[in-house]
Structure formats: structure tokens, C-alpha cells
Amino acid sequence: MRWRNLLWIGISIAGLLLLPKFFPDPFFLRIVTEVFMWVGLAITWDVMAGYTGYLNFGHGAFFGIGAYVTAILMMRSGWPFAATLPVAGLVAGAAALIAGLPTLRLKGAYFAIATWALALAVQQMALVLDITGGPDGMRLPPFLHPQFFFYLMLTLVTATFALLWFLLEKAPFGLKVKAIREDELGAMALGINPTTIKMQAFILSAIPAGVLGGIYAYWITFIDPASVLADIITDQAMVMAVFGGLGTLIGPLIGAVLIFAFKTYFWAYLADYQVLYLIILGGVIALTVVFLPNGLWGTITGYTGGRRILRKALSVDQPQGSGEKET
């Protein structure tokens, strides 16, 4: 089974690498590149929600911070694009560290509201600061090479997926975050420091999101607060992860592909009804919570942790030691 899985992974990666050779159309490559980006945002959002049990409504802020760091370093300081990406990730991680100090003391809905307010604060800062261009945004030099961004986004998302899979599914760190998710007091009794582990998970989810934002800024050539710091970024990543299945990495990947495919089809044929898309997005998350609480992947594989993760993440009191076991 192990070698069979590795074989399928190798075939999938090889197929993606050869995709631009067989489908060189720039529009097609643009669509697939954006799918990669949303896969990355969905799986990094799931680090806090699915594995640690904390719903982060401010995840898009790290994406936007990374985008602005790349834009500012390139346009204000003349840095090459490649040199800005590590800085974008580090600044996003530092922002998670600063934001996590007060917010990670909260639980359940209080943490979700606090991170949402954090995202709004970052958006307002980008609107008033001169260095970000304010509401007028910033333009970056165009680089018309769709295959470059295709391979760059594919490399980053694949590396992020592999790193998260190792840390969360194979390494002791994954057992620690799951212990905190299931019973925080019990984890403390075992000698785990929940504050440290939650902070590490928060930073781990923020750094790749910041790098994705940096790539997006150079790829799209123009950014403003409405495009890289909007609530829809977090909302879509959340819907993708919940629809696919929380507490797994495959679930958000599947959810990102399906939701983005629907979004592309919707905007291609119903562009005049964009408000309706938001209504549908809200309906999808509501119906998923009610009828598919374990997500699509959980329903297919029989994994029942999604329902419990949602209940605990939205709980204010966060009852501990309920005796429930993950199957």
C-alpha cells in the first residue's frame, strides 16, 4: 500500500509537470496556477482549524501581508523578485507571532472573532499607509511568462503539502497539535505546552500563506487592499477546507479543486450575478456543516473527526475530556 501510494503520487506530479507541454494555452495555465494557490491557502488554513481546533478568520491577512512585502521591496527598494519571497514568508510569520500572543489565549468563537478583527485592522492599515499605495494600490512590473508562475506555484504548494504531511501526520508535532485539539487540559497533563504548540502551528500556517501572497502579487501585477486583504480570501479557503474535510490534507485539496472549478464556471457564464456567488458560498458552508460535517473526503473514507472538530472549534467553553475517541 505504501509503495502504491508513492507510485500514484509520482504519477500525479509527473502529469502536472508535463501539463504545460500538452496544454500551453495561457488561459488554461492561469486557471490551473490559481487552483494551486487556493490548494495552498486551504491546506495552510486547515493547520489551525482541522489539526489544532482553532478557526482562524484572519488567514487572508497573512496572504495580503506577503503580497505587500513583495510589492514594496520590488517597487520601493528595487529587490529582485526571488529575494522578496523569503522575506514575505518571514514577515507573515512574524505577524502571526505578534497576533498570536493575545489571540491564542482565546478559544472557540472568541478566537475566530479576534482573528477576523485582526484581518480588518491589517486591511485598514493598508488603506491609510503611503508605503502601500493606500486605496490606489501598487503596480508591479509585468512578467508575461505563465509557465514560470505555473511551476513556481506548483513547487511551493507541493513542498508545503509534503512538509505539512510530515509534520502533522508523521512527526511528534502532529500528535501534540491533535492532543491539544482533542483535550487541551489532558495535553497539559502529559507535559505538552499548549501555548507554545499553538503558536508554532499558527506561524507554520502563516509563512506559506505569505509566500503565496508574494507570488500572487508579482503574477497579477497589481494589488490593493480589496484584492489581497478582502474577507473573501479567508472565506473561500475556509469553505474549501470544510467542504473537503477538516483534519486532513487531502480533504482541503479536493475541496479547493472542486470549489474553484465551480467558481470559474460560475464567473464565466454568470458574471452579472457575482453577488449570487457569495450567497451560494454561504449556502455551501451551511449545508456542509449540517449534512456533511465530516467533509467530502471524510464521508468517502469514513473519517468522522470533522464533526467533532467543528463542534469544538465553534464552542465557547471548549469542554475538555469528553471521552470521545477519533475513529
Chain centroid to Cα 37, Å, comes to 9
**CA within 13 Å, CB half, 59:** 32
Cell readout for 99 is 497576533
Q: Give the mean pLDDT of 10-29.
A: 83
Alpha helices by DSSP H, listed for 183-230, are 184-189, 194-220, 225-228
Give yes or no for residue 103 having a pLDDT over 60. Answer: yes
Q: Give the mean pLDDT of 182-205.
A: 91
Residue 326 or residue 39, greater confidence: 39
Q: How confident is the model at residue 140 (pLDDT cuts 50, 70, 90)?
A: very high
| pLDDT value of residue 266 | 80
| pLDDT value of residue 220 | 94
pTM of the full structure: 0.90
Which residue, among 216, 197, 201, 288, has the nearest Cα to 35 in the 3D structure? 216
Q: How confident is the model at residue 318 (pLDDT cuts 50, 70, 90)?
A: very low
| pLDDT value of residue 86 | 96
| pLDDT value of residue 321 | 41
The phi and psi torsions of 293 (rounded to 5 degrees) equal -65, -25
Cell readout for 161 is 503539502
What are the residues whose beta carbons fall under 8 Å from the beta carbon of 300, sequence distance 6 or more? Answer: none
Q: How confident is the model at residue 319 (pLDDT cuts 50, 70, 90)?
A: very low
Buried b (16+ CB within 10 A) or exposed e, 68-96: bbbbbbbbeeeeebeebbebbbebbbebb
Which residue, among 126, 136, 143, has the nearest Cα to 68 in the 3D structure? 126
Q: Which residues pair with 139 in a beta bridge?
A: 222
Q: Give the mean pLDDT of 143-147.
A: 89
H or E stretch including 270? none
Give yes or no for residue 322 having a pLDDT over 70. Answer: no
User: Does residue 137 sit in helix, strand or coil?
Assistant: coil
Q: Give the mean pLDDT of 168-175.
A: 92
Q: Give the mean pLDDT of 316-324.
A: 44
Domain boundaries, the chain: 24-314
Mean pLDDT of the residues in the chain = 87
Q: How confident is the model at residue 205 (pLDDT cuts 50, 70, 90)?
A: very high
Q: Any idea which of 79-83, 144-148, 212-216 has the lowest mean pLDDT?
A: 144-148
CA–CA separation, 9 and 309 (whole Å): 28
Number of C-beta neighbours around residue 256 at 10 A: 27
Options 3.40.50, 1.10.3470, 1.10.10, 1.20.120; CATH of 24-314: 1.10.3470
Residue 244 or residue 5, greater confidence: 244
Q: Give the mean pLDDT of 135-144.
A: 91
State percent of the chain over pLDDT 70.
91
| pLDDT value of residue 297 | 87
| pLDDT value of residue 27 | 87
| DSSP symbol at 315 | -
Give yes or no for residue 157 having a pLDDT over 90. Answer: yes
Q: How confident is the model at residue 271 (pLDDT cuts 50, 70, 90)?
A: low
Cell readout for 311 is 463542534
User: Does residue 160 sit in helix, strand or coil?
Assistant: helix
| pLDDT value of residue 280 | 82
Instruction: In the chain, count H helices and then E strands.
Output: 15, 2
CA–CA separation, 101 and 98 (whole Å): 6
Widest Cα–Cα separation across the chain: 57
pLDDT in tens, 214-254: 999 999 999 999 999 999 899 999 999 999 989 889 999 99
Q: Give the mean pLDDT of 297-316.
A: 73
| pLDDT value of residue 1 | 58
| pLDDT value of residue 66 | 97
Give yes or no for residue 36 having a pLDDT over 50. Answer: yes
Which residue, among 11, 58, 55, has the nearest Cα to 241 in the 3D structure? 55
Let me know: does 43 contact 244? Beta carbons within 8 Å. Answer: no
What are the residues whose beta carbons fall under 8 Å from the beta carbon of 6, sequence distance 6 or more? Answer: none
